[in-house]
Every structure is written in C-alpha cells, then in structure tokens.
Amino acid sequence: MTDATEYDPTEQTPGTEHWQERFGAAMMRTLATPLAMLVRGEGCYVWDEKGKKYLDFLAGIAVNSLGHAHPDLVAAVTDQVGRVAHVSNYFSSPPQIELAERLKRITGAGESGRVYFCNSGAEANEAAFKLARLNTSGGTRTRILSLHESFHGRTMAALALSGKPAMREAFLPVPGGVEHIHTTIEALEASIDNTVAALFIEPVKGEAGVIDLPDGFLRRARELCTRHGVLLIIDEVQTGAGRTGEWWAFQHDGITPDAITIAKGIGGGLPIGALVTYGATSDLFSRGQHGSTYGGNPLVTATSNAVLGVIERDGLVANAARRGVQLREIVHGFASPQISEVRGRGLLIGIGLTEPVALRLAAAAMKEGLIVNAANESTIRLAPPLIIGDGELADFQHRFGLALASL
C-alpha cells in the first residue's frame, strides 16, 4: 500500500471512466447523483479517481468505525474468506457464536440475552417490529409507539416506525398499529398504557439532524414501560458500537432496555445487523418465526469480531468520548455567525446552522477535501471514524474553517 499522503491518479482504477454517465444509465433512480467516485481509502482518508484526497468525517454514515483498510479488518476478511464465507442458517460457525457471545457481554444482555443476526439496520428493526407484535397479552396490546421525526429504515415495517410522513406517502398502506408521539415526557405519560406492545426510541435522532432526547426521557420511558409491560426497544443502529462515547447510547442514562437493534459500526464496512434481546423478551420468538439466509454468516461475523475486538483493545469508546469533546470545542471555537448550536454525543455530532445553507456548506467542504453530511437544510452531521486523533482534528479544523469562510 502506498503512503497515506500520496496517490498516483495515473494508476487508474478500472471502471472509473465516464462513471457519472454510467451510474445514471445503470443504477435505479433511488439515489441522488454521487458526490464523487471513491477508489481507495486508508485510515481517515479516501481518494477519488482523479487522485484528490479527502478527510472522511462521515465514515460511510457512522459505519467505518476503524476508518479505511484497517489491518485487523483486512486480515479478518482475508483469513475468513479463505476458510468459509457462507454456510446458510442450517449450520453454525465459530465466529457466529463468538460474536453472539461478545454482543451479549458488551450490551449487558447477559446470560438470558439472545442475538438474532441479519444484514442491516432496517432488517434489525423489521425483526424488532415482529418481536413487538408477539408482546400481545392475549390480543389486548395492539399499539406500537415511535417518535415524530424518527428514522428506523426504508423497508415497510421500518418505514411504518419512522416518524417522517413524507417518506411513507408513496408506499401507503404501511403495516398498521404504529402511532407517532412527540418527544416529550408528557407525551410518554399520556400515551403509554396496557394497550401498548412496544416503544421504539432512537437515543439520538441521527437522520433528523442529530437531535438529542430531552433530559430524563429515556429513564422515564423505562419506568413507564416497566409499569405497563411495554417492550422498550432502542434503535442503536447509528449510535452504537462506541460512537457516542459509551458502547451503546442508552448506557448514558443507566437503563436496561428490553431489546436493541444494531448495525453500521459493528461491521466496519461489511453489512451486518443484529437484534439483541434482554431477559424475558428473549423467549418471545420461537423456531421458524423469523430468519435470514445471509444473517450471521462466517465472513461478516468474523469481521465484526475483529472490529469490536479492536474497539475494545485500543480503547476507542473512550477515544470517541474524548475526541468528541475536542471536536465540539473546535466547532464552538469558529465563533461563526452561521453556527447556532452543537448537538449529539461523542463522535456523532450535529452542527446546527442559523440559515438553511447546509448543502452549500457540505459542498464547500468537499471542495476543501473534507467529507461531511448535510443531514437537513440547517444541520451538518459529523460521524468520523473512532480512530481519529490530534492530526485529524487539526486537519478538520483547517478544512472546515475554509469551507465556513467561503460562505
């Protein structure tokens, strides 16, 4: 591998010629025109087909926990694909069981916990939706609650859970029984009773613009769900695997959920998701009620074990907490009239803007060789790899400062 500061664009990667036209002609029209053609990555940097270098402060939308081409990830993939990549769910494999046991430990699910593997966050939430439907108490629990402006995925049940009506309009009717409530303790108290099967919560609303929950919201949700026999299901797809400075964001509030859904950062770039259950919730699913051909196959579970192992070994959860504080200080230090607030925890940060210029600012950052995300018209989302250090923070400060100044 060449030095991380150098890349020779004359070493053309096959398949990059006229890529915009080819993309438009070949890909389904569900995506916007891509911002660039990326052909290589190392650490916290990526390069496009022309050789331009970018500091990656989005990490594949909170996926690339270890950055790009981390040697432990490369070794795990290489070793496992040379042994056996896939066996179907008729068989097990050592990395599958190892990962399930690891997840039970680091989630606090303990001995009574159980793990269901799938391929994405949306699939994990689909499984959780079915789990919620099993908590019926003889058919009296017919309601599932979720939050306004939440996002749980684009498949049909996940779409029903997502509190964004515009996303559902073209696909109605979606699975029924879901009610969306305001993100207030008062709304929790008014909505949760013995007719509710489950409450779905994102501990930080990532796609809404990295919006924090009100103080005490999760703790009050836990109290009410326990009182009324409601499953508290926490969507940790974007917030998990150390991103917020704890292994899982719910741990900031000192609660125990009934189930969590996870994906993104646990795979470090390979597609994997999981539903983890706690206590009696682990007994709801029975044989044949759910499944996945690819879920938990040897390749992805071996890779996830390597990723989570590095996060533990290298103290990257603590690094996310510490670097997140530094990153917030840098953003506040710009003292820009364009910046109104900084939201989120650890290395999941939303920069609130005073004007709807997020798309312009993200484009300006790209010109300066910095990848960030306009989560909406007035929010810039930052989700860098958990491995960032002083050098990457200084580089971010320089490049984002230039982008801000260009406005």
The C-alpha atoms of residue 219 and residue 205 are separated, in whole angstroms, by 17
CA dihedral in degrees (251, 256, 261, 262; nearest 10)? 30
Measure the CA angle with vertex 6, ends 5 and 11; round to 5°: 155
In 3D space, the residue among 308, 214, 217, 221 whose CA is nearest the CA of residue 258 turns out to be 221
Verify whether residue 91 is a known catalytic residue: no
In terms of DSSP bridges, do strands 114-118 and 373-376 run parallel, antiparallel, or are they unpaired? Answer: unpaired
Verify whether residue 334 is a known catalytic residue: no
Verify whether residue 104 is a known catalytic residue: no
In terms of DSSP bridges, do strands 373-376 and 370-371 run parallel, antiparallel, or are they unpaired? Answer: unpaired
**At residue 326, what is the residue type?**
Q
Phi, psi angle pair for 44, to nearest 5°: -100, 15
In 3D space, the residue among 394, 381, 398, 401 whose CA is nearest the CA of residue 57 turns out to be 381
Of the residues 104, 129, 217, 264, only one is catalytic, namely 264
Of the residues 151, 217, 396, 400, only one is catalytic, namely 151
The C-alpha atoms of residue 260 and residue 76 are separated, in whole angstroms, by 26
Name residues whose C-beta falls within 8 Å of residue 346's C-beta, 6 or more positions apart in sequence. 242, 243, 244, 245, 246, 320, 321, 323, 324
Of the residues 48, 56, 129, 235, only one is catalytic, namely 235
Q: Which residues pair with 55 in a beta bridge?
A: 45, 370
Active site residues: 151, 235, 264
